[in-house]
Amino acid sequence: MNVLAIGCHPDDAKIACAVTLAKCVKRGDKVIVCYVSTGNLGHVIITHNPDDYMPNHTAVSRLVFDASFTATLPNYTDYPHVYSSNDGEPAKLVSIYYMDTLAGVNFNPSEHVDISDVIDLKIQMLECHESQLVWMREHDVIDFADMVKTCSRYRGYQCGAEYAEGFRQCQAYLKGTTKRLLP
């Protein structure tokens, strides 16, 4: 399976779904992480929740949703540099998963991924974004790494794991599936 994760900023995927993506790689998926994309390259798309806290995040969520549909329309292949897949054919309909919001605000996951065995790696990855840690400490007066770990623990409580990442499947027409696509 191909998995496309689309975030607005470089740290977004690490905050909300880094370990889930690592588990996708481990099971043999081809994983692509990008930021602000047309969203036409994957069989699963993971992106921001439409109700996230930052306008850039909500704009990306909307763009991904719209692009994932319009990419399936044959007339858009007239503009292959914009919407079509690499072979010039319309893209296939794919499911979209929304990743958690910052601090889990206004987000009720429909699926969880157990990340207990790699929570330390997730925090290490997050700490590579040194400027972001400084920004969150100065702007929001929080310990960002502690917040992400605490939220992962909270999601873990919801599903019987020590730590977890939470996702919500987009329920729009033609986006549903009976399969468990997440690892």
Under the rule (CB under 5 A), what is the footprint of Zn ion? Answer: 8-9, 12
**CB distance 71 to 121 below 8 Å:** no
With respect to Zn ion, which residue has the nearer C-beta, 69 or 144?
A: 144
Shortest Cβ distance from residue 137 to Zn ion (Å)?
16
Work out the angle at residue 80's Cα, subtended by the Cα atoms of residues 37 and 172, and round it to the nearest 5 degrees: 50
With respect to Zn ion, which residue has the nearer C-beta, 12 or 114?
A: 12
Shortest Cβ distance from residue 89 to Zn ion (Å)?
32
Shortest Cβ distance from residue 170 to Zn ion (Å)?
19
Shortest Cβ distance from residue 72 to Zn ion (Å)?
27
Tokens of 148: 């992400």
Tokens of 128: 């590579």
With respect to Zn ion, which residue has the nearer C-beta, 134 or 174?
A: 134
**Burial grade of 42 (CB within 10 A; 0-12, 13-18, 19 or more):** buried
With respect to Zn ion, which residue has the nearer C-beta, 47 or 84?
A: 47
- Residue sitting closest to Zn ion (CB): 9
Distance of CA 117 to the CA centre of its chain: 20
Query: Does the CA dihedral 84-87-5-165 come out positive or negative?
Result: positive
